[in-house]
Amino acid sequence: MHIPPSGTDQYIKHAWVAHIDNQCVGYIHFLIEPEEKLKFMDAWVHEDYRRKGIFRKLWDIRWGFVQQHYKGYKAYAWCKPMSLPLLLEKGFIEGDNCVYVEKIIEGPKPLFEKCFVSC
C-alpha cells in the first residue's frame, strides 16, 4: 500500500506498507530533499515475517516508483551491512563507513566542576 505525502509535513515523504490481515508487517520510506535528492530511509519488517521476501518486495516497489517519477535525481541511503548487497546490486556506490554510537542523556553538570586553574 502506497502512502503519498500528506501535504502537512515540512518533509515530503512517500511510504509503502506491507500488511497481512490488516496488520502492518513492514514499511519503507523515502524523503524528497532539495537539489533533486532522494533519501532512502526507514525500512523495517516485523521479526515474525523476516526472510520471506517482504523487504525485497518493498524495496523493489519503491525503486520502481522513483525510477518512474524521479529520473535524474540522486538517491542515497544510510544502510546496515545486511542491506548493503541489495543497494550495490541496484548500482549504488559504497561511500565511507559510519559507526553507530549512543549515550544515555544525563542531567547538566555544574560548570567548571572538574576545571582547576592555578597560577
Q: Is residue 94 part of a domain?
A: no
Number of domains in the chain: 1
C-alpha span between 9 and 3 (Å, rounded):
13
Q: Is residue 100 part of a domain?
A: no
Find how far residue 71's CA is from the centre of its chain: 20
Q: Is residue 19 part of a domain?
A: yes
Residue 21 in this model has a pLDDT that exceeds 90: yes
Strand order in the sheet with 12-20: 2-3, 12-20, 23-33, 37-45, 74-77
Region 4-32 average pLDDT: 87
Q: Residue 48's domain spans which residues? A: 2-89
Cα separation values, 27 from 22, 44, 61, 86, Å: 13, 5, 11, 16
Q: Is residue 79 part of a domain?
A: yes
Q: Is residue 28 part of a domain?
A: yes
Q: Is residue 104 part of a domain?
A: no
pTM, entire model: 0.74
Buried residues in 76-107 as b, exposed as e (16+ CB within 10 A): eeebeeeeeebbeeeeeeeeeeeeeeeeeeee
pLDDT digits (tens, 9 = 90+) for 60-111: 999 999 999 999 999 999 888 888 898 899 999 998 887 778 787 677 777 6
Q: Is residue 41 part of a domain?
A: yes
Q: Residue 74 maps to which CATH number?
A: 3.40.630.30
Q: Is residue 9 part of a domain?
A: yes
Task: Using a pLDDT cut of 90, give the percent of the chain over it.
Answer: 55
